[in-house]
Amino acid sequence: MQPVAHLVKVSLPNYLTNLPVPDSFGGWFRLGFRDWLALVPPTAALAGFTYVTYRAFCPHGRPQPSGTVNQKILKDNPKVVDTIDIEDISEKAVFCRCWKTKNWPYCDGSHGAHNKETGDNVGPLVVKKK
């Protein structure tokens, strides 16, 4: 623990006080090559710290699209086609349009999580019998 305390209390403050940071905006233009070179390590450390902090609090952002809509339903078929007779519908049927349902072709509400995750606004197809 002693080396860490020495680094934080003595070495780092001495290093930072010796950096050629100008007092005015015009002072930046008067820095020499060695001065700019001395500013590279702390700038890189600050940029790295900023990036790691950003990744820790914003790890994913928006998910990247995979290129395919259907991720899991009847993947062995060249084309997914379902036929439902209107006579088989009692009062109404709710069909999935997001391809996330576990009850294909009927909607199970999976589009809610999909919309929240991706910012999309997809919803089901509702067919009513008059």
- Asked if 79 is an active-site residue, the reply is yes
- Which one from 9, 72, 79, 116 is the annotated catalytic residue? 79
Between the alpha carbon of residue 128 and those of residues 25, 55, 97, 110, 120, the distances in Å are 70, 47, 16, 21, 25
Is there a contact between 125 and 94 (Cβ–Cβ < 8 Å)? Answer: yes
Nearest by Cα to 105 from 130, 78, 70? 70
Nearest alpha carbon to residue 108 among 73, 84, 61, 69: 73
The backbone region for 3, taken as left when phi is positive above 0, alpha when psi lies in -120 to 50, beta otherwise, is alpha
Task: Please identify every residue annotated as catalytic.
Answer: 79
